Amino acid sequence: MRSGFTRNAGLVLALILVATAPLWISAASSEPLRKSGYAVGSEQCGSGSLSFPRIQIDMKRGFCAGLVASEDDGLQFPRSIVQIPSREQFVIADMGGWGHTDGRLLLLDPHAAEGKRIKEVITGLEYPFGLAIGPDQKVYASTAETIFRFDPLASNPRGTVEVIIQGLPGRRVTLSDGTKVTESSHPMKQFIFDRLGRIFLNVGSHSDDCITRPPIAKPCPAGEGSSPLASVWMFTPPSGGIFPALKPADPNPQREIYAEGLRNSMALTVHPRFPDPGYAILQGENGRDLQDVFKPNEEINALEKGKHYGWPYCYDLSTASPEFKAVLQVGRYKNLCNNAALYRQPYSLLPPHGAPLAMLFYHGSKFPELEGKLLIDLHGYRPTGNRLLIYDVDDHGFPKLSPSPVRYQVSCASEPTRAFQTDDGPVKAASYEELISGWHRVNGARPRGAPVGMTVASDGAIWLVEDKNQTIIRIDRADSEPPAPLPCDMRSQAQIDKLVSFVKADAQKSGYLTSVRANLVEKHCVGCHTDFGLKPGQSDPEKDEAVLRFMLGQDGWMYPGDPDSGKLRIRLRGIGAEKQMPPGGERLPKTEPGYTRVLNFADYMVGKMVPGTRMRIKQGRPDREFFSKDGKVCGEIPTTKVVVVTQKDANGKPGFSRFYRPADPFLNGECSDGDGYYIQSNFLVPLL
């Protein structure tokens, strides 16, 4: 007989899964194996020696995703991938983390036995990112300051390195006004070759928006001078089309500034016929971060030599950044956002905050329906990110535009779709399909998708690199019916309201929040990427609530009851491969008295946010089921987790619990109607 919990009518009900040391795994359990957060069962994607465990990502019919490699294979922070010409192996750029020389180049043999597919070929690199095949069919790679070619199959790959471009603006830069930046925000060097052998190189901006204290009276120094940041540089090889190897004192090849005003050009591609007149060279722009989920839009830019693309002065199509009002009234940038002679509006808008990190034209035999189309992956953590898009293009490689309104998909917890628009209303844009549509986090099934690098293999399969989940994924043809989409687990506004009420009603939690807001957010975080909802004239309690609502509204920042798992803690403490925030945060515990205490307050606030009792699954219990009100089995509590339960006997039912975040969809959505769940209490014990 199922026994109920002790009645406690004053508690709102929640169940939170807390990551701790593994507890037990029942011999009778059918729980699937998990790799990098993905549930891996017996179903496969692919065939023969290129058959890999199928992972449950919501995809276009006819496609499936196989997990080739994970953190179990030693991946740390993979960022890009390319296939070695005429070979079955691939090269992976793995940054290792945000340490300055943690980066590695890896060799992947997908035909090797599991656990033996990856080996290191070059180590000790600073921010390796870009990978490309040159016109000589050799593998080229980039670090923060160089581009080089090498032979990954040699017995000593490092001994084959030939630097062809050096001395690029890296982690430490000096701006045109003499300002020295010790940690540039965008030091990674993405690059592509065109068919003439020229290199187009991303030189990212040093910051998100170039704003220190508005109003700004002078142009952004990062975009000025003979070597501007936030630009795409073009290097031209000598006759013959191959760049020579450089000695340390040699000058770089001929260089031109091809396009300016591009915050961070991680997604770059050229049509195979470029530079024939009228053929596309495209860039996916990562726009500035703002609190507003729907502003500004990201961009697809059609690059033209000598043009300016707006950063940081213009966004969307022709909206002027208010912080640069004075700059836009005089000089070179006077009325820039409406100056067609200098400024080029985006060719099309992309979903806001989607973060395009790779794009390519598909050419391959496996998916004839994709031939010639443009693929763009979205890495962003906002509701519009974590997708893979397909664009129809014209004969010159430009995405086909449609009149407004053109709608894009948003997370299932927000508006299902939204029209591309600016401050002036809906605008025309390129419409697209989603090859990968549902890649939000679903506990027990998959993590939130984080695609970065992308390439098409010689057999036509699409390969993706995920940095946050440390995985390599291969997309193949699927003949079977796709599985049903997994449920949404984004936090709703009603859930945010309830969580805010928990904090406001408790003096201790409110005190934690005030300290975090005043001593962390306002002191170190505002202006880096967002204003955290803070506005002039707010009272301190209003500021506290605005900051809390903002953080609760960001996917994965906070998991109430589980401070160890949220991105807030991971980023503030620089755990794993995550870049530590705020910039220079690794020094603050030693240089700022009380800083560590503030970080602890943030953990306390998250850990104690929901009232309740932490419970541990009893050893040896195979019965771990959730139930709906009518007795329907919803799913199982995972064996390796601690459970936090706010206790109440609801209408005589055992262990009733309403889910907040992370609204655990082990339940596959069938019991997630907001009415709550029942938990067998006879296999839970208080966690001391």
Q: Distance from CA of residue 420 to its chain's centroid?
A: 21
Buried b (16+ CB within 10 A) or exposed e, 543-561: bbbbbbbbbbbbbbbbbbb
**CA 569 – CA 320 distance, rounded (Å):** 35
Amino acid at 598: V
* pLDDT for the residue numbered 552: 86
Q: What is the pLDDT of residues 63-80, one digit of tens each?
A: 999 999 999 999 999 999
Q: What is the pLDDT of residues 188-240, one digit of tens each?
A: 999 999 999 999 999 999 998 898 776 788 999 999 999 999 999 999 999 98
Structure tokens at 561: 């009851």
Residues 6 or more apart from 658 whose CB is under 8 A from it?
A: 12, 13, 14, 15, 674, 676, 677
* pLDDT for the residue numbered 671: 52
Lowest mean pLDDT among 211-220, 410-419, 647-656: 647-656
**CA 380 – CA 358 distance, rounded (Å):** 12
- H-type alpha helices, 529-688: 540-553, 567-573, 588-591, 595-607
* pLDDT for the residue numbered 624: 55
* pLDDT for the residue numbered 489: 55
Q: What is the pLDDT of residues 508-566, one digit of tens each?
A: 999 999 999 999 999 998 867 678 888 889 999 999 999 999 888 776 788 777 787 77
* pLDDT for the residue numbered 610: 73
**CA 74 – CA 170 distance, rounded (Å):** 27
Q: The pTM is what?
A: 0.81
- DSSP-derived secondary structure letter, 278: T
- pLDDT tops 90 at residue 57: yes
- pLDDT tops 50 at residue 22: no
- Give CA separation, 206 vs 170, 185, 209, 234, 562, in Å: 9, 5, 9, 19, 34
Element (H, E) at 501: helix 493-504
* pLDDT for the residue numbered 629: 56
Q: What is the pLDDT of residues 356-393, one digit of tens each?
A: 999 999 999 999 999 999 999 999 888 889 999 999 99
- pLDDT tops 60 at residue 90: yes
Reduced to 3 states, what is the DSSP secondary structure of residue 163? strand
CB 233 within 8 A of CB 255: yes
557 closest CA partner among 542, 571, 543: 571
513 closest CA partner among 604, 594, 620: 604
> What's the mean pLDDT in 576-597?
86
* pLDDT for the residue numbered 577: 73
- DSSP-derived secondary structure letter, 332: G
461 closest CA partner among 383, 362, 541, 560: 362
Name the CA radius of gyration of the chain, rounded: 26
Query: What is the dotted CATH code of the domain comprising 45-477?
Result: 2.120.10.30
Structure tokens at 161: 């390195």
CATH 2.120.10.30 spans which residues of the chain? 45-477
- H-type alpha helices, 517-587: 540-553, 567-573
**Greater pLDDT, 20 or 47:** 47
Amino acid at 639: T
Strand-pair category, 348-350 with 421-422: unpaired
* pLDDT for the residue numbered 450: 93
Lowest mean pLDDT among 200-214, 237-251, 322-336, 411-425: 411-425
**CA 74 – CA 89 distance, rounded (Å):** 17
Average per-residue pLDDT in the chain? 84
Amino acid at 345: Q
**CA 12 – CA 659 distance, rounded (Å):** 10
**Rounded to the nearest 5 degrees, what angle is found at the Cα of 306, between the Cα atoms of 230 and 206?**
5
Determine phi and psi for 546, rounding to 5 degrees.
-60, -45
446 — pLDDT class (breaks 50, 70, 90): confident
Strand-pair category, 298-302 with 281-285: antiparallel
Lowest mean pLDDT among 12-26, 265-279, 577-591: 12-26
CB 494 within 8 A of CB 70: no
* pLDDT for the residue numbered 290: 73
